[in-house]
Amino acid sequence: MGSGAPTFECSAGCVVMTANRVRTLALIVVAGALLAVWAFPVLWALLTSFKTERDVLAYPPSLIFEPTLSNYRDVLFGSASILPNLVSSTIVAGASTLLTLLFAVPAAYALARLALPGKRASGFYVLATQMLPPVGLIIPYYLVLQKIGALDTYAGLVVIYLTFSLPFAIWLMVSYFEDVPREMEEAALLDRAGRWRALWFVILPQVRGGIAVTTIFVFLNAWNEFLFAVVLGGNRVRPVTVAMFNFISVEQTLWAKLAAGAMLAMAPVILLGLIAQRHIVKGLTVGAVKGGGRT
C-alpha cells in the first residue's frame, strides 16, 4: 500500500482512469469485507437472538427462519430473568460514575490550571495508577472487603471502581480544562468573583462537553467491568456481565437466550459509543498522549 493520499498515476495519457476506478472498487470491497468481520459477530448474535433454540442448531445455518421474541421475553421476565442484573449494573455504573466525576473534575482543574504543589509528581502518580493490572488488586480487595463485611455490597464495588475510572477521568478532564482560554478565568478573578464562583460559573460551563464525554466513557467502562464484579459481587450485587454466564453451563448452552441477553446488556454501551463516536480516539489515548508528553 502506498501513502495516504489518493493516487493519480497518469503516466500514459490518462487511459488509466478506468483502471483507477477498478482499483477504487477493489479497495471498497476489501474495506467492506473487513467491516463485515467486525460487524458480523454482533449482527449474527442479533439474528440468533430472534431464533428458537432449535433453529440455532440447524446446519447449514438458516438465514430464513420464523423470528420469535420469546428469547427476549424469557430473558426479561422468565425464571432466569436478567432484569435484576440490568438494575444492578445501572446502580453500580451510575453511582461509580457520579463518585468519579465528583473527585475527578476538581482534581483535573487543579492539575491543568492551578499552581498545585508537586504538580508533575501528582500527574505522574495519577498516570501510574492507571497502568495497574486489575488482577494485581483483586486479592487485597477481596481480603479487605471480606474482613469488613463489604463483599456483595454496592458500596464496596462502587468505591473500588474508582481504581480504574478515577485516573482515566482525571486525565481526560485535564485535556478539556487546558482548552479553556486563560483570559476567561482571569477576567472572572479580576471581577473579585472568588475562585469558587469563577470555577462554578465561568470555567465549568466551558467544559460541559468534556464532562459529558467523560461521563459516557466512565459509565461505559464501569458497565463493562467483569473481574471485580465476579469476585467481589455475589447474589445481591450481580451486574449483567456476570449474569451472562447463567446461560452457559457444562450440560447445555442456551444460545438464543445468551444472544438475547447479550443484546440487552450491550445495547446501552453501543448507544453510548455511537453518541460519543467522534470523541472515541481522544478517550482511548488520553493517558498516553498526556503522560508521555509532559512528564
Partner 1 sequence: MTSTLEERERRFALLLFLPALIALVVTTTAPLVYLAWTSAMRIDLSMPWLSGFAGLDNYAHMGADPRFWHSLWLTLIYTASTVVLQVVLGLALALLVLRIPRGQAAMRIAAILPIVLAPVVVGLFWRTLVLSPDVGLVDVVTRALGLGSHNWLGDPQLALISVIAIHTWQWTPFAFLVILASLSALPPDVFEAARVDRANAWQRFRHITLPLIRPAVVIVVIMRTMIALSAFAAIFAATGGGPGTSTEILNLYAYRTSFSELNLGYGAALAMVLLAITLVVSFVMFRVRRAR
Give the footprint of partner 1 on residues 132-171 (CB under 8 A).
Answer: 132-144, 159-160, 162-163, 166-167, 170
Half-sphere exposure of 233 (CA within 13 A, CB side): 22
Contact indicator for 116, 122 with CB cutoff of 8 Å: yes
Q: Does 34 bind partner 1 (CB under 8 A)?
A: yes
Q: Which residues pair with 253 in a beta bridge?
A: 248
Residue whose CB is less far from partner 1, 83 or 244: 244
Site for partner 1 in 46-105 (CB under 8 A): 48, 56-57, 59-61, 103-104
CB of 2 to partner 1, least distance (A): 3
Q: For residues 107 and 242, give the distance between their C-alpha atoms in angstroms, rounded to a whole number.
A: 32
Site for partner 1 in 164-203 (CB under 8 A): 166-167, 170, 195
CB of 209 to partner 1, least distance (A): 18
DSSP 4: S
CB of 168 to partner 1, least distance (A): 12
Could you give the 3-state DSSP secondary structure of residue 253?
Answer: strand
Site for partner 1 in 228-287 (CB under 8 A): 231, 241, 244-245, 248, 253, 255, 258-259, 262, 265-266, 269-270, 272-274, 277, 280-281, 284-285, 287
Could you give the 3-state DSSP secondary structure of residue 278?
Answer: helix
Closest CA to 223 of 89, 133, 95: 89
CB of 246 to partner 1, least distance (A): 11
- The torsion angles phi and psi of 72, rounded to 5 degrees, stand at -65, -40
Closest CA to 194 of 183, 185, 205, 207: 185
Residue whose CB is less far from partner 1, 13 or 292: 292
> ∠ CA 82-88-93 to the nearest 5 degrees?
125
Q: Which of 16, 116, 150, 193 binds partner 1 (CB under 8 A)?
A: 116
Q: Does 33 bind partner 1 (CB under 8 A)?
A: no
Q: Which of 5, 63, 64, 250 binds partner 1 (CB under 8 A)?
A: 5
CB of 192 to partner 1, least distance (A): 12
Q: For residues 147 and 14, give the distance between their C-alpha atoms in angstroms, rounded to a whole number.
A: 78
> How many residues are listed for the chain in this entry?
295
Q: Does 30 bind partner 1 (CB under 8 A)?
A: yes
CB atoms within 10 A of CB 11: 7
